[in-house]
């Protein structure tokens, strides 16, 4: 792909459900970072979508004070975007419905990419897609609970190089109603070390053709984003 073509592709509007993002850049959800104040600061730089830090679905439905505080949106925040994680399809459905009905969420992202041990040891985050049936049920539950609000998923390549899941998980998520699929092109074992394998994003894009595929990992400056588009299509 030429530099001109890559630039045109990278700057074309991105549609996620009913939301048309004129700037096709999504602020990745980061635990302990992307709170309402940080998202407000980032809006001044012009990205299209700003996702909250990770919220526990069970903590939300149990109305735990700390979780409810994390789920707050800033004044004028549009679209209202929040990331959930959990392993129980019914709890995920109820949490998604609560976000929509009570907090006015307009986009819900599901975390299947967290590599942190305290999450994965309970089968959550990047460990969950290894259990294909449960993964499908969790996505379907959230989509059902969210009704017309778009639900997206964020994945890693897998647990490690011997347990890759993304090429199965991406199509499964799309089949269950996910409006987009994002891939952090590292395994859980890598965490944030080494280099992201952008070729995996290209392979996922070939496997998922009916919803947008977003790439994540090692984008530090705008030129990196353009290069990712060039290398992944």
Short-list 6, 3, 83, CA closest to 39: 83
**Average pLDDT along the chain, 233 residues, taken 10 residues at a time:** 57 88 87 87 82 94 94 88 96 98 96 91 93 98 97 97 97 98 96 94 97 94 92 90
d(CA 41, CA 68): 21
Q: Are 169 and 136 in contact (CB under 8 A)?
A: no
Measured CA distances, 104 to 101, 108, 144, 174 (Å): 6, 11, 16, 24
42 is catalytic: no
Short-list 209, 105, 115, 106, CA closest to 155: 115
Q: What is the pLDDT of residue 9?
A: 59
Q: Are 149 and 142 in contact (CB under 8 A)?
A: no
Q: Hey, what are 41's tokens? A: 């600061």
Full set of structural domains in the chain with CATH: 3-232 (3.20.20.70)
Which residue in the list 27, 114, 138, 183 is annotated as catalytic? 114
Q: How many CB atoms lie within 10 A of CB 47?
A: 15
Bridge partners of 184? 156, 216
Q: How many CB atoms lie within 10 A of CB 136?
A: 18
Q: What is the pLDDT of residue 38?
A: 87
Q: What is the pLDDT of residue 89?
A: 98
Q: What is the pLDDT of residue 36?
A: 87
Burial state string for 70-87 with b = 16 or more CB within 10 A and e = fewer than 16: bbebeeebebbbbbbbbb
Q: What is the pLDDT of residue 3?
A: 58
In sequence order, the 6+-apart residues with CB closer than 8 A to the CB of 180 are 16, 150, 152, 153, 211, 212, 213, 214
Measured CA distances, 108 to 55, 186, 214, 225 (Å): 11, 23, 15, 23
Whether residue 79 is preceded by a cis peptide bond, meaning omega within 30 degrees of 0, is yes
């Amino acid at each position: 792909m030429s530099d001109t073509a890559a630039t045109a592709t990278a700057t074309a509007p991105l549609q996620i459900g009913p939301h048309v993002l004129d700037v096709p850049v999504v602020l990745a959800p980061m635990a302990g970072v992307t709170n309402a104040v940080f998202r407000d600061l980032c809006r001044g730089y012009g990205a299209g979508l700003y996702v909250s830090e990770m919220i526990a679905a069970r903590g939300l439905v149990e109305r735990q004070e700390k979780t409810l505080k994390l789920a707050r949106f800033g004044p004028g925040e549009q679209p209202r975007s929040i990331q959930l994680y959990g392993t129980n399809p019914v709890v995920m459905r109820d949490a998604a419905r609560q976000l929509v009905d009570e907090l006015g969420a307009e986009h819900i992202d599901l975390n299947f990419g967290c590599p942190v041990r305290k999450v994965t040891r309970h089968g959550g985050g990047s460990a969950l897609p290894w259990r294909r049936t449960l993964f499908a049920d969790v996505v379907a539950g959230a989509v059902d609970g969210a009704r017309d609000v778009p639900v997206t998923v964020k994945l890693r390549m897998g647990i490690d190089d011997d347990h890759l899941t993304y090429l199965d998980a991406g199509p499964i998520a799309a089949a269950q109603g996910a409006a987009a699929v994002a891939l952090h092109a590292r395994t859980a074992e890598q965490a944030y070390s080494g280099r992201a394998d952008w070729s995996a994003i290209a392979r996922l894009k070939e496997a998922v053709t009916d919803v947008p595929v977003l790439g994540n990992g090692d984008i530090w400056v705008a030129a990196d984003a353009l290069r990712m588009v060039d290398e992944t299509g």
